[in-house]
Structure 1
Amino acid sequence: MSGHAANVVQAGSIGTVTFLEAPQLPRTKPAMGPLVTEQFVNRTSERATLADLAALADPDRKRPVIVGLRGLAGVGKTTLSLWVARALAADFPDGLLYADLGPNGPSPSESMSQWLTALGVHESTMPTGFNDRAVLFRGLTADSRAILVLDDATTFAAVEPFLPTSGASLVLVLTQRVPDELRSHLTGIVQVEGLSTEHSIQLLAGICPDDRIAAESAAVAELVELCGRLPLALQIIGVHLAKRSRRTVRQVTDELRAAGGSVRAVATALDAVYAELDEPAQRLYRVLGLLSGGRFTDELIAAMTGIGPDAAITLLDWNLVSETDSGYLIHPQVRAHALLLSSTKDSDDDRAEILRRALNWWLLGATAADVALGGRRKLRIADPERLLAGQSLPSKAAARTWFEREQYGIVAAMEAAAKRQWHEPVWQLGEAMFSYFDRRRPLATWLKVMKLAAQSAKDCHDARAEARCRCLLAKAYQELERFDEAAAQLDLARELAAGDERLLASTFDFTGNLALRRKEFAVALDWFQRALEINIQLGQQRGTALMTVFVGRAQAGLGAADALATFQEAARLAREIDEPDVLIRAELGAAEVLVALGRNAEVEALLGQVAELATELKKLDVQAKVALLRADLTGDDRYREEAIAAYEAMGNTPQVARLIAG
């Protein structure tokens, strides 16, 4: 944590949530994927085959080299692919992209977002939809020489969007069974079996470097067979032997055979290691089985169990978890074993209490991050001060980073809570996540969360909460261009909001934005004007300024002459209440109207004001829009170069900048 700005939020018995801003790193080529173990042995045949296939990559090919790596879970496909990527790095200078397509990985849209971020695309210019992200990805990698690893793939439909068009790239598809529809697209298939006996012994000796491996050759040979020659099982047993120097290999072998041997190789190894853990580490291990995302931090575990960080370090020492940039990760097979132990050793009441504590911790963090991103004035049904009580908030960057890390755990916890009919925290978490969703647009996750939230609000008979959640669900449908479904949700929301004028105005706002998206400008204008009237009556100054901006947008869509005056009035209101985010929207809208009217002299003066405010607010996307407007007005390529510079400063690659330059 040293060297990065941090903010800590805490609440009573819930615990603490620390927010860290992601460090500003220099631009580098992508180098994604989990850390690989140093104990990697030979795989000479597989590596040679992969190197031969990789050599086929060529810019003149019509598609990339696509290789399927087929093998059991725990056999070492991921480690092999990442070691091969490291060995071939000089031949593929544009870096390594990695995505976990399995059930414990991010959504496809979020995985694509992570790839685009690694390729230099800034979040302010990130496409909102998965298909648009995939199109941009293919454009950015059209001429690249990169290695792409797609882990835990089960269907070709999941793989296809992640395939680049460049014939000079190498794609490694990791799967337990090659999908039939993928076979015709493959350049080759590499079967990844358990290690040979020789290499299994070599792996054990690397983890447990003492004379027992050499001295007990017969017992060692039997031991590796009992482990199925699976690297995961061998690594776990190797750590077990290294930590128990007085135990002979024969003793461990006899215990594994009695426990079931190679029929359940990984589970047998895990049983042996679990028995050696102290009580806090055993309890933590079982708790980790309940985390479907498999990722955790010391703070989350402390909130769930009260167990200190030493227990996680113990699990790390025993090779049961691995470290990540922000915490720890448990392998899916290890987690399945931990979940089985929890189901047999912990009562349902104990598991329920752990889930409830996790929900409270995530709700505290999500509430703080939501207010940091959306401000304290935003309409919310759940009052954030019930948890925050005036505490200082994290920065927007730190809030986004926290949501990025925790969103999958939150979604899994919401699903578990909904099954237990704990409806209130479900809808509250959904409401709190909207600020993040509206900025990052992980649409599949957004849709799932808001469906859960809306149903939970309905199930706990809270009409105001249901109205709010249905608006947020409608916005997700709108971004997916499922407009009829969005309209149906908003019809329900307006009915539910009757009697709460501020909430009703919000439903009018969402309805107007849907009409604006559908280019139904007259309909949008009517809804925005109704929302504006309510905000004026209630004395909601920010809402009044913002609705005035939206009225201006609808008027501009209709070509109405009074759109300019409306934007100017919105700008005046925003200045009065010191709302620069609203002000910049109003002034940019006014500038666009002036361009349409051909009032170029006035445009330049206003664009100067917008550019100054954009610089102050660090809104590079607005700076780029101002520069492009100036370029269109004057035909001066100098302004187009300014736009390119702004997009590059946001992290856009030169390819994106060239697209803007035309």
Structure 2
Amino acid sequence: MVDLLQVVVDEAAKAAATSAVGAVSTASRNVVSLLKERLGTTKSGKDALSRRALAAARADKEWADRLIEAVSVLHEENASTATAGIENFRNHLALLADPPRTGLKLIVGAAGSGKTELARQLADRVQEDFPSGRVEVPLARYRDGDEFDAAAVKRYVLREFGIPHGEIPVDDEQLDRQFLAVLVTRSFVVILDDVELAAELALFARFRTSLVLATASVYSRELKACDPAAIELRGLDVEGARELLADFCGQVRLVDEPVETGRLIDLCDRMPLALREVGLTLAGRAGEARPVATLLDEYRDSGVVDVEGVIQDSLRRTFARLSDAAVEACAVLAGHPGGFFTRATAAAMTGDAKVIEELIAAQLTYQAGDWYSLTILAGQYARKLPADREAGFGRLLAYVRDTAVAADFRENPQRLRTYVVPAKRDWELRVDHIDWLEWHRSLIGELVKLACLRRRYKESLQLAGAFEALVNKRGYWREFVDISDWAVKAVEADEDAKPAQLARALMMRGKARYLARWFPAALEDLDRAAKILSGPAAGFAESRWRKLQASLAEFRGRFHEERADLLVLRNAGEAEIKRELAEAERHLRWACALSTELADGPALAIHPRMLANVLVKLGEPAEAIAVLGTMAAAGRNQARVEMVYANAFLALGDLAEARARFGSAWNQMAAQRATQYVWELRELQARLMTAEGDPGAIDVWGRLAYDATQLGHPRADRYFSALESSSSDRRP
């Protein structure tokens, strides 16, 4: 695990380094002042300063605490926001009068007791003390049985703090470092909803200058050890319960029946979910003489004597008012993968585009953007109702599969595919096809898994294959690790699958794994794929089999290049790095040879560029230029080719040609609105300006270092080294 104190002093050293080139905020000045107070000078270089500060922090806890406090507000302008509490919802006034302000506070109570709402209101009371804002994390989304996806939680929190998806590392080590770097430089409130394990709290307990408000339904022994004095909820205060009931009962005047209203509130145990359901029942009785008393009489006659009975009776009444089609639809939607649906996926799953409006009108759903979900109680009730759920799942699977495949073909009809292509593959929606894949990525991931478990292997592979279009365009490799894992399971279980399909699934999983820096597992997948592809082209055209072999050679080359890049990050020996790059060169040369033999135009627009990039890293820029001269490329790939050219000419000292190639790449990327390679372009600009002797280079390096630090980006250390080198070159 990354040392938190090490991250703190690293961020302090970065603040000191960037302050030297003018990127100064009040928070940065405070950090620099603390460093000078203890160390005397901050002009010894970032790494040396970090080492000195770490030693001082370990020796002086009081000074370390002050440094942590100062670092925690470095990036307060990057504030995150989350849902505020409902202002007129009165809940536990004594707690709100004296809210917790640091550390961890656990709120425990049964489902429907108002835990999350209380957490939001507590956060509202102290928000001005936490300039970086608030993040709310629904932990249940990140559990699958006993498995908790801590990495997914980290990525979610980073996005909530404004870190672009493309700037979040795929591999665990860099992800953890970025997570720590971003959070130690911010002072925030985090609401952890539905905690079950102490390990879930441990993700945030390290950040002492922030406030963690966590909710839990069960006050287990390990949670009690985390907070022995948790807030335990058993219902709202009386006034809060009365106000909440009034919010939902419409035109019914509770003030006309104060005694009966009190009895009804007591029957509900002052539980928010029960009060909501009773309020909805009362709202339908507006105009009756004594609606509250009448409802209590009906409860007595039907044997309703507790809060559970109240809830079930209210739900029964609500569902009785629905049409048969809406009841059936609600029962089917209760099993929607992931629990969230759009109007389109709801229409597909239920076979009826209109019933969703009836469910919304009955207040059985809640909305988050373009996505809907059944309320907790509606979902629990609907799951017990009879419905043809298998047919609903089949309709949803077919709709998402057809749309995803159409998006894949809209992006690139010539791309190498091994999945069975359905008859329908024309893109007919008005939205952008890649945007659609991105919006539905979580649903696609769930369907790949569920289709495999239900032995719908063909559809599982089709969805996984179509998802590659999103991965190739916008990343999401971390999500693809899980998807490709289920794809491999599906093809292994499918008796009708062809060897090429298994090879492709293994290759894609291997690629996802090596980008996540899981090299041993990635190598195992690539080796298995190689063994399959070394045999005859069973059930597959020979030319396509050879294309798979070329693709495998590309993946193997990139595997070794990624390993070399990691070795560079870890300051490994030159010989070890060269060995990996030499292996990358060998495989990429084989990929180029196969693509040339097959006259595979799309591959010949990619493989030589990859080879040339490795040759530049190997110190062979002239040969890289020769390789680039053999290829033709277009679109975004042409801009990438220009970047490799620029790096090669820069290495040769041909600054004029390097400048021209850089300008071409910059203009093309801007025209295409491609942001994936912005860091590489800016770094190339800084290196080119340094080589040209442009005094503005130090400002470009400084801005790069500052921006990378803001994002907790792993490139930050490299930029600081270049900044220090540029600064020393300018000294007399």
TM-score, normalization by structure 1 = 0.82
Counterpart among 386, 405, 420 of residue 367 in structure 1: 405
Are 1:160 and 2:160 counterparts?
A: no
Contact 1:285 1:338 in 2 (8 A): yes
Name the counterpart of 2:527.
Answer: 491
Secondary structure at 2:423's aligned position in 1? helix
Determine the C-alpha separation between the residues in 2 that align with 1:38 and 1:317. 24
Q: Secondary structure at the match of 1:88?
A: helix
Q: Which residue of 1 aligns with 2:245?
A: 204
Per the alignment, residue 72 of structure 2 pairs with: none
- 2:374 corresponds to 1:325: no
The structural deviation recorded for 1:208 is: 1.4
Q: Which moved more, 1:80-89 or 1:250-259?
A: 250-259
Post-superposition Cα deviations, 1:535-573, rounded to whole Å, max 9, x if no partner, equal 222221120121112222343444346542345326x41
**Are positions 1:415 and 2:474 aligned together?**
no
| Inter-partner Cα distance in structure 1 for 2:169 and 2:478 | 14
Residues 1:335 and 2:379 are matched in the alignment: yes
2:360 counterpart residue number: 316
- Count of residue pairs the alignment pairs up: 606
Paired AA for residue 532 in structure 1: C
**How many Å apart are 1:127 and its aligned residue?**
1.9
Say if 1:364 and 1:352 are closer, same or farther in 2 by CA, change over 3 A. Answer: same
1:610 aligns with 2:665: yes
Over 3 Å counting, the alpha-carbon distance change for 1:154 and 1:271 in structure 2 is same
Deviation per residue, 1:280-317 (Å, 9 max, x gap): 332222122111422111111111223234x3343334
Residue 416 of structure 2 corresponds to 379
Partner of 1:138: 180
Q: Is contact 1:41-1:199 (8 Å) kept? A: yes
Within a 5 Å distance, the mapping from 1:274-353 to structure 2 comes to 274-309=319-354, 311-341=355-385, 345-346=386-387, 350-353=388-391
2:688 corresponds to which letter in structure 1? R
Q: Residue 418 of structure 2 aligns to a residue in which SS?
A: coil
Cross-structure match for 2:518: 482
Q: Which runs of 5+ in 1 are unaligned?
A: 1-26, 58-64
**1:229 aligned onto 2:270:** yes
User: Given the alignment of the two structures, is residue 468 of structure 1 paired with residue 504 of structure 2, yes or no?
Assistant: yes
CA distance in 2, matches of 1:130, 1:267: 45
Structure 1 residues 186-585: aligned runs within 5 Å = 186=227, 189-211=230-252, 213-245=254-286, 248-253=291-296, 254-255=298-299, 258=303, 261-263=306-308, 266-309=311-354, 311-341=355-385, 345-346=386-387, 350-371=388-409, 375-382=412-419, 386-389=423-426, 394-395=431-432, 399-400=434-435, 402-437=436-471, 442=476, 445-460=479-494, 461-463=496-498, 464-497=500-533, 498=535, 499=537, 500-519=545-564, 520-560=580-620, 562-569=622-629, 572-574=631-633, 579-585=634-640
Change (3 A) 1:421 1:431: same
What are the Cα deviations for residues 250-296 of structure 1, in whole angstroms up to 9, with x where unaligned? 45443486367334664454333222223233222212211142211
SS in 1 for 2:606: helix
Q: What is the root-mean-square deviation of aligned Cα atoms in Å?
A: 3.4
Structure 2: how far apart are the matches of 1:228 and 1:442? Answer: 46
Q: Which residue of 2 aligns with 1:20?
A: none
Change (3 A) 1:48 1:390: closer
Q: 2: distance between equivalents of 1:147 and 1:491?
A: 47
Provide the residue aligned with 2:96 in structure 1. Answer: 47
* 1:85 alignment partner in structure 2: 123
Which has the greater radius of gyration?
2
212-221 vs 90-99, which moves further? 212-221
Q: Percent identity?
A: 21
Contact (CA 8 Å) 1:141, 1:166: kept in 2 or not?
Answer: no
Q: Distance in 2 between matches of 1:44 and 1:390?
A: 55
Distance 1:160-1:244 versus aligned 2 partners, 3 A rule: same
The CA deviation at 1:637 is: 5.6
Is the CA contact (8 Å cut-off) linking 1:104 and 1:292 kept in structure 2? Answer: no
Deviations 1:362-420 (A, max 9, x none): 11332244445x5333212237683323658854xx624x3443233233333332232
Contact 2:109 2:233 in 1 (8 A): yes
Is the 8 Å Cα contact of residues 30 and 119 (structure 1) preserved in structure 2? Answer: yes
**1:119·1:653 contact (CA, 8 Å) conserved in 2?**
no
Deviation (angstroms), 1:634: 4.3
Which residue in the other structure is 2:681 paired with?
623
SS across alignment from 2:455: coil
Residue pairs, 1:51-66, within 5 angstroms? 51=99, 53-54=100-101, 57=102, 65-66=103-104
Mark the runs of 5 or more structure 2 residues left unpaired by the alignment: 1-76, 538-544, 565-579, 724-732
CA distance in 2, matches of 1:123, 1:651: 14
Residues 451-487 of structure 1: per-residue CA shift (max 9 Å, x gap)? 2111212322322222221111112221232222212
C-alpha distance in structure 2 between counterparts of 1:188 and 1:567, whole Å: 68
| Distance in 2 (alpha carbons) for counterparts of 1:446 and 1:366 | 15
Q: Which residue of 2 aligns with 1:9?
A: none
Q: State how far apart, in whole Å, the 2-side matches of 1:616 and 1:658 are.
A: 27
User: What is the aligned partner in structure 2 of residue 71 from structure 1?
Assistant: 109
In structure 2, the partner of 1:638 is: 696
2-structure distance, mates of 1:390, 1:72: 47
Q: Following TM superposition, by how much is the alpha carbon of 1:36 offset from its aligned partner in structure 2, in angstroms?
A: 5.8
Contact 1:72/1:176, CA 8 A, preserved across alignment: yes
Contact 1:107 1:445 in 2 (8 A): no
Counterpart of 2:79 in structure 1 is: 29
Q: CA 1:146–1:215 in structure 2 vs 1: closer, same or farther (change >3 Å)?
A: same
Over 3 Å counting, the alpha-carbon distance change for 1:96 and 1:432 in structure 2 is same
Q: Does the CA-based 8 Å contact 1:555-1:563 persist in structure 2? A: yes
CA contact (8 A) 1:236 1:320 kept: no
Distance (Å, rounded) in 2 between the aligned partners of 1:81 and 1:430: 39
Report the Cα distance in structure 2 between the residues aligned to 1:523 and 1:626, rounded to whole angstroms.
25
**Residues 205 and 615 of structure 1: CA distance in aligned 2, closer, same or farther (over 3 Å):** closer
Change beyond 3 A, Cα 1:370–1:651? farther
Query: 3-state DSSP class of the match of 1:99?
Result: strand
> C-alpha displacement at 1:359, in angstroms?
0.7
SS of 1:573 mapped into structure 2: coil
Mapped to 2, the partners of 1:258 and 1:120 lie a distance apart of: 53
Partner of 1:387: helix, strand, or coil?
Answer: coil
Using the TM superposition, give the Cα deviation of residue 633 of structure 1 relative to its aligned residue in structure 2, in angstroms. 2.5
- Against the structure 1 CA distance between its residues 289 and 88, is the aligned structure 2 distance closer, same or farther, given a 3 Å change threshold? same
Query: Within 1, Cα distance between the matches of 2:315 and 2:429?
Result: 44
C-alpha contact 2:245 2:279 (8 A) present in aligned 1: yes
Q: Secondary structure at the match of 2:669?
A: helix
Structure 1 pair 564–658 and aligned structure 2 pair: CA distance change class (3 A): closer
Q: 1:495 to 1:266 in 2, by over 3 A?
A: farther
Select the structure with the greater relative contact order (CA < 8 A; seq sep ≥ 6). 1
Aligned twin of 2:159: 117
Q: Distance in 2 between matches of 1:252 and 1:406?
A: 44
2:333 and 2:709 map into 1 onto residues whose CA distance is 38
